[in-house]
């Protein structure tokens, strides 16, 4: 079932070529852009306050990753979210390392009040938000994805657990952050009612391509390049030609 979901969403991305505007941390910008290109989406990265609202308005999804913050970037995030909401564009929050600093946690909690379409974090980050994933999803009308050795997705009512991926995905900086951008592309080609399936499909795609890459890579360096290839090959091929197995 998840394989079929993934194939349908990948075909939609190939057909629609959604633009995803990314306000992401400076460590992962290149990998994030390349993963979006590999899956068939079009990335942009500007955080200039004079143009970020326009970039967001002309996109089909917005990614907000708070890995590296400063006052200018915070201003850009607020402007971008406002633009996304005014234009009915889904925005996705990656609350990076909010379990490390109270100020960062408080900032993430303020952003969540603006009801992101998706909140994607690891178990520590989601736990730091002070409620279980299902309650967090219901209270904020969001899809919550908890990622790790096992991925868990919930909208507060439905839930899905995915046993996909490989340990090497945790040995390359930015795979998780760039993966959230890929989830943004999957959400970009669906309406609000379809975001739960989009997140499940995106995580399945990431996990399976990670497994495929790990079988071919000799270590983390090769893995980083190989997972890009695997995402590209998977997005280019139909499910009958190249199944996600």
**Structural domain spans, the chain:** 2-236
Query: What pLDDT is recorded for position 242?
Result: 44
What pLDDT is recorded for position 245? Answer: 47
| Topology classification of domain 2-236 | 3.40.1190
Q: Is 147 annotated as a binding residue?
A: yes
The reply to whether 120 sits in an annotated binding site is yes
User: Please, which residues bridge with residue 92 across strands?
Assistant: 63, 118
Torsion on CA atoms 176, 178, 181, 183, rounded to nearest 10 = -50
Contact 80, 64 (CB under 8 A): yes
Residue 141 is labelled as binding a ligand: no
| pLDDT at residue 2 in the model | 87
So what's the pLDDT on residue 54? 98
> pTM for the whole thing?
0.94
Q: Residue-wise pLDDT tens for the chain (245 aa)?
A: 788 999 999 999 999 999 999 999 999 999 999 999 999 999 999 999 999 999 999 999 999 999 999 999 999 999 999 999 999 999 999 999 999 999 999 999 999 999 999 999 999 999 999 889 999 999 999 999 999 999 999 999 999 999 999 999 999 999 999 999 999 999 999 999 999 999 999 999 999 999 999 999 999 999 999 999 999 999 988 444 444 44
Model pLDDT, residue 34: 97
Buried-exposed string 26-62: b where 16+ CB fall within 10 A, e elsewhere: eebbebbbbbbebbbbbbbbbbeeeebbebbeebbbb
CA distances to 17, 55, 134, 153 from 68, in Å: 28, 20, 28, 25
Place of tokens 């736990």: 127
Burial of residue 149 (CB within 10 Å: 0-12, 13-18, 19+) is exposed
- Is 174 marked as binding a ligand? yes
Q: Quote the pLDDT of residue 1.
A: 79
């Amino acid at each position: 079932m998840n394989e079929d979901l993934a194939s349908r969403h990948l075909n939609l991305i190939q057909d629609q070529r959604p633009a995803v505007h990314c306000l992401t941390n400076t460590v992962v910008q290149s990998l994030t852009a390349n993963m979006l290109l590999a899956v068939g989406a079009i990335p942009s990265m500007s955080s200039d306050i004079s143009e970020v609202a326009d970039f967001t308005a002309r996109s089909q999804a917005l990614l907000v990753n708070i890995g590296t913050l400063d006052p200018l970037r915070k201003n850009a995030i607020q402007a971008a979210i406002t633009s996304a909401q005014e234009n009915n564009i889904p925005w996705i929050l990656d609350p990076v390392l909010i379990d490390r600093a109270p100020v960062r946690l408080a900032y993430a909690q303020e952003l969540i009040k603006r009801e992101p379409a998706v909140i994607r974090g690891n178990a520590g980050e989601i736990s730091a938000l002070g409620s279980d994933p299902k309650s967090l999803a219901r209270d904020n009308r969001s899809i919550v994805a908890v990622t790790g050795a096992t991925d868990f997705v919930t909208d507060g009512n439905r839930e899905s657990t995915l046993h996909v991926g490989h340990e090497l995905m945790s040995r390359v900086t930015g795979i998780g952050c760039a993966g959230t951008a890929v989830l943004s592309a999957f959400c970009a080609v669906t309406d609000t009612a379809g975001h739960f399936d989009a997140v499940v499909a995106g995580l399945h795609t990431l996990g399976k391509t990670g497994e495929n890459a790990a079988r071919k890579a000799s270590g983390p360096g090769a893995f980083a390049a190989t997972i890009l290839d695997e995402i590209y090959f998977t997005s280019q091929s139909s499910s009958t030609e190249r199944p996600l197995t």
